[in-house]
Structure 1
Amino acid sequence: MKDPLYICVHIPEFPVQALLRLRPEKSQSPVVVVEGDPPLEQVSSANVRAIQLGVAHGMTGAELEMFSGVSVLRRSAVEERVARSVLLETAARFTPRIEIQRSAGTAFVMALDMTGTSRIFGPADRSIAAIARAMKPLHFFVQLAASANLHAAVCIAPSARRQHLVIPTGQEEAHLRRLPLAALPLTAQQTETLSLWGLHTLGDLAALPEVDLVVRLGQEGKRLRLLARGEHPHLMVPEEPAFSLEEFIAFDAPVEMLDSLLFVVGPMLDQLLARAQNRCYALASVTIKLGLDGGAEHERTLKPALPVAQREVLLKLLYLDLQAHPPSAGVMNIFLHAEPGDRSKVQMGLFAPQLPEPTRLDVTLARIAALVGEDRVGKAVLLDRHRPDSFKMERFTVPKSVVKEETARHTIALRRCRPPVNLSVQREGRSLASFWFNSRLYKVQQAYGPWRRSGDWWSSEVWSREEWDIQAAADPGNSLLCLITHDLLGDRWQMDALYD
């Protein structure tokens, strides 16, 4: 049987760390998080620099005014939810068995069951180092502890401030005995009772006789004693987080400058790309939803031709898109959602010429669309209609499969005249006799038609015309095969196409 191993990830002051994750420029200054309705806000979390100044939980806004240089942020439940999902996704790289632990304070605590992973990540100290390296790009300060007992790891993790701790198997009680009783999940009544007994540390509680403790506190007393000794068993109930690429940030005041918005969007894209790359994905699409001042929303979606993993490319595409479609008011919050996609790999031939990067195509098209309009950029797709030259513009996409080349066949090419050339036609009865084209008089030798076509009679774009396939000649050495049309509504003859 494999030796059990549990690693506890303890993130103190989680509300402020969740906000600073996307505001790295404020991480080196004192920051506090307040919650409540103004003017009754109270401090719910603070970073280390603010605590060193003397800021404490429960302080009011008036008390915070005594501290200079302190940044005040409002608590955001959405950003905390996104931050939790980011942490769970990162931890899932090491084990699928993850359980969130209840915390009495503002810390976020989760336990990882690393049993049986020594051949992958090595012993406990190397596993802790690997987890710490994975958490570092997320801009979280984490405290890690490893033990064969889950509760022992959870209790000692808050004290791992300077270095991560590994408790050898069988030495749980020796490492826990110096911790205060606050390390255990005690109720207010239990705290008061143990204080009246003169108990201050877990070692004091572990030294009490089990029978006497059960007589006074019941089975709950036995549980607390086992927790203090690092011997309480645990039935793990793993979390099952859904994989989603989302980021959210809110502002205290409306932001109107596009450059200021992109300055904030940059770190959000970094987080999305890091989480996608952890699963060997790129970003196939990015949707940005801007919450505007007044309650309205402004939403835009980018879909590159290929999944993108470059931050600079996505930022440039967002800049060009928002420049062409600016929000109508100041921005109060930003929500980013991305869809993952497989990373594109192109196998080039040994002697094949180097092709342009696919990511440069998206930036080029976005710049052209900003100049001429989005409805004028893309590829032309024929519509399923009878009207000639009816088409729509669609965005460029890279086909997933290679199209097989068909064997060339000898066919007649039809070359459209764009725009069609107006003609002067002479008729003999219902047949065509001759017409002027390119300052020459062509006499009709053979004519096939007319073929009548019409459509859109229910709209203002109604059309109706006749088509003729003509063989004509101006002189013995100058003949042509062509398609001539007659607009029945406008009574206009035109040269529509030439046959090769």
Structure 2
Amino acid sequence: MTPRRIACIRLPDPAPALEPGARAALSGALLAAAPRVIPVRGHPRAFWADVTGMEGHGGDAGVGRALAAAAERAGWTARVGVAGCCIAAAAATRERAVPVRVVPAGREAAYLRRRSLALIPIPADLRHSLELLGMRTCGDLAALVPAEVELRFGNEGLRAWRLAHGDDTRWPFRPAAPGIAAAEADFEPAIETSEPLRFVLGGLIGSVLGQLEGRQRIPARLRLVLRVEDAADDVREVRPARPTADARVLADLCRRAVDAEPLAGRVRGVSLVAEEEGTARADQLDAFAAPAPDPGALHSALLPVFARWGEGALSTAVHNGAHLPGEHADWAPKGSDGIAAVADARPSGEERSGEDNHVFRNTLPLCLRRLPEPLAVEVRVDAEGRPAQVDIPSHQNALPGGGIGGFPPRLWKTRAEGPERISGAWWARGTAREYWRVESPEGWLGLVYRDGPTGRWYLEGWYD
């Protein structure tokens, strides 16, 4: 079993107490060097970091220097102590000569022997009694016989003797699941808004990606856990379109997961766990075919679009199988989940086979842009009953949201295709329409229909 190692990161005493936002920002910076960081309870300028099993990152000294450097990048000068127990790690931050002090494993009692007894968290009356007995250092207390200490000072005295002896069973972190890439940070005091979460998300993601990188893996699905006071954990799923190690994409998805629902209460901690892992993949491109777009690059390019227009900015057509153009298909928002389908889409020429393949390359089929509601228009027909002139009232020319823009108030058609007569839905309201496709001299293509029961004409939409 890997021996536990813990680091204490403490800002110098003259430094002011950190505000919640600054404390969260410093926690996020420290996550770049250690996977789990929490504030020291009751101390406004100190943090614990779990550095167990980090021999591959330069050992205790290397991790300690990385923690000090992370604090410095955040704008703070910190002292770091690394040891096998909390009391020794905290004591190591009191050395002014060196910024990083490592207490070797098993040497905690020897290290504490000459340290001040003021480092031991004990009740004030017990501290006063020990001072009256002339005890000034941890070694003075540790030299006593434990049975006599318990007899005279009770359980509190025996607990103080154990701490002075380096026997500290306190451990501020929950047990970590073996083999799972995870990172966590706590808030002291608990936060009431999601704003401080943004300071630590980048550190959490960087820590998880660093752990997976050592195993040549990338995340396929992440689990964001918000630990709420006096309530069950608030668990939110983060699933990229494809397994990706792009920190910007994952940060955007995590922010969306946080903003998707309001906080259930005061949050005292947050953790990010790699729920599913994917293998890093390098595809061999075909020299004779256009390569598929990279999902990570697509996601990064679409981030501003999603931020402005929401998940509906990327939609897909859903085929309903109805006869009427207005009911034939609908647009379903896909959000970031639709990026995988875009990345997998092949050029139109590859979707067809045969000798006429080249005809369809680099071309797009016409798309009917339906109006939100059919627009009533005036249509003059010729002797054969075919539309000859379409008249749109000028006050309806500018539709909401830009609409059809510079659509002319009176459109003379030069060609009409139709009629296409559609009827049905007798079990509901019943429908009987006569559809025509019309073309203007300027090349504008529109779809109009005549309603059978009323004889009125309507513009359904136009083709792009």
The alignment's TM-score, normalised by the length of structure 1, stands at: 0.49
Q: Does 1:156 align with 2:91?
A: yes
Correspondence for 2:340 among 388, 391, 399:
399
Q: Distance in 1 between the 2:205 and 2:422 partners?
A: 57
Give secondary structure in 2 for the equivalent of 1:159: coil
Residues 443-476 of structure 1, C-alpha deviations (whole Å, 9 max, x = no match): 99xx8x854145997xxxx883334799xxxxxx
**Residue equivalent to 1:194:** 130
Residues 17-68 of structure 1, C-alpha deviations (whole Å, 9 max, x = no match): xxxxxxxxxxxxxxxxxxxxxxxxxxxxxx73559xxxxxxxxxxxxxxxxx
Shift of 1:164: 1.5
**Residue equivalent to 2:202:** 273
Give secondary structure in 1 for the equivalent of 2:114: coil
**Residue equivalent to 2:451:** 487
The 1:220–1:497 alpha-carbon spacing in structure 2 relative to 1, beyond 3 Å, is: closer
Correspondence for 1:452 among 423, 433, 444:
423
Q: Distance in 2 between the 1:442 and 1:168 partners?
A: 89
**Residue equivalent to 1:144:** 80
- The letter of the residue matching 1:402 is D
Shift of 1:178: 3.0
1:291-330 counterparts in 2 under 5 A? 309-310=247-248
Q: Distance in 2 between the 1:375 and 1:173 partners?
A: 58
- The letter of the residue matching 2:381 is S
- The letter of the residue matching 1:486 is R
The 1:402–1:127 alpha-carbon spacing in structure 2 relative to 1, beyond 3 Å, is: same
**Residue equivalent to 2:440:** none
Shift of 1:381: 2.9
The 1:425–1:392 alpha-carbon spacing in structure 2 relative to 1, beyond 3 Å, is: farther
CA contact (8 A) 1:379 1:393 kept: yes
Q: Distance in 2 between the 1:439 and 1:174 partners?
A: 98
CA contact (8 A) 1:180 1:201 kept: yes
Give secondary structure in 2 for the equivalent of 1:198: coil
Give secondary structure in 2 for the equivalent of 1:165: strand
Shift of 1:127: 3.8
Residues 59-114 of structure 1, C-alpha deviations (whole Å, 9 max, x = no match): xxxxxxxxxxxxxx8x65x886x579758966763xx8x9x797564454536363
1:418-429 counterparts in 2 under 5 A? 422=379, 424=381
Q: Does 1:206 align with 2:172?
A: no
- The letter of the residue matching 1:435 is R
Q: Distance in 2 between the 1:304 and 1:85 partners?
A: 25
Give secondary structure in 1 for the equivalent of 2:432: strand
Shift of 1:124: 3.2
RMSD: 6.3
**Residue equivalent to 2:360:** none
Q: Distance in 2 between the 1:493 and 1:167 partners?
A: 87
Q: Distance in 1 between the 2:421 and 2:156 partners?
A: 98
Aligned length: 357
- The letter of the residue matching 2:201 is L
Q: Distance in 2 between the 1:365 and 1:111 partners?
A: 36
The 1:84–1:139 alpha-carbon spacing in structure 2 relative to 1, beyond 3 Å, is: closer
**Residue equivalent to 2:386:** 435
The 1:103–1:208 alpha-carbon spacing in structure 2 relative to 1, beyond 3 Å, is: farther
Q: Distance in 2 between the 1:101 and 1:366 partners?
A: 33
The alignment's TM-score, normalised by the length of structure 2, stands at: 0.52
**Residue equivalent to 1:258:** none
The 1:8–1:273 alpha-carbon spacing in structure 2 relative to 1, beyond 3 Å, is: closer
Shift of 1:194: 0.8
1:39-54 counterparts in 2 under 5 A? 48=14
Which entry has the higher C-alpha Rg, 1 or 2? 1
Residues 301-357 of structure 1, C-alpha deviations (whole Å, 9 max, x = no match): xx998986449x97xx99xxxxxxxxxxxxxxxxxx999999998858475589795
Unaligned 5+ runs, structure 1: 14-46, 52-72, 252-264, 286-302, 319-336, 427-432, 471-482
Shift of 1:185: 1.4
**Residue equivalent to 1:229:** 165
CA contact (8 A) 1:11 1:140 kept: no
Q: Distance in 2 between the 1:5 and 1:158 partners?
A: 18
CA contact (8 A) 2:433 2:450 kept: yes
**Residue equivalent to 1:388:** 325
Q: Does 1:217 align with 2:153?
A: yes
Give secondary structure in 1 for the equivalent of 2:340: coil
- The letter of the residue matching 1:156 is A
- The letter of the residue matching 2:301 is R
Q: Which moved more, 1:188-197 or 1:483-492?
A: 483-492
Shift of 1:196: 1.5
CA contact (8 A) 1:465 1:485 kept: no
Shift of 1:156: 1.5
CA contact (8 A) 1:283 1:309 kept: no
Give secondary structure in 2 for the equivalent of 1:491: coil
Shift of 1:379: 4.6
The 1:392–1:178 alpha-carbon spacing in structure 2 relative to 1, beyond 3 Å, is: same
The 1:143–1:272 alpha-carbon spacing in structure 2 relative to 1, beyond 3 Å, is: same
Unaligned 5+ runs, structure 2: 177-181, 210-217, 223-238, 257-269, 357-363, 389-411, 438-446
The 1:180–1:282 alpha-carbon spacing in structure 2 relative to 1, beyond 3 Å, is: same
Q: Distance in 1 between the 2:220 and 2:91 partners?
A: 39
CA contact (8 A) 2:425 2:431 kept: yes
CA contact (8 A) 1:283 1:340 kept: no
Shift of 1:188: 1.5
**Residue equivalent to 1:464:** 431
Give secondary structure in 1 for the equivalent of 2:339: coil
CA contact (8 A) 2:312 2:334 kept: no
- The letter of the residue matching 1:48 is P
CA contact (8 A) 2:54 2:60 kept: no
The 1:424–1:416 alpha-carbon spacing in structure 2 relative to 1, beyond 3 Å, is: farther
**Residue equivalent to 1:38:** none
Q: Distance in 1 between the 2:74 and 2:108 partners?
A: 31
Give secondary structure in 1 for the equivalent of 2:325: coil
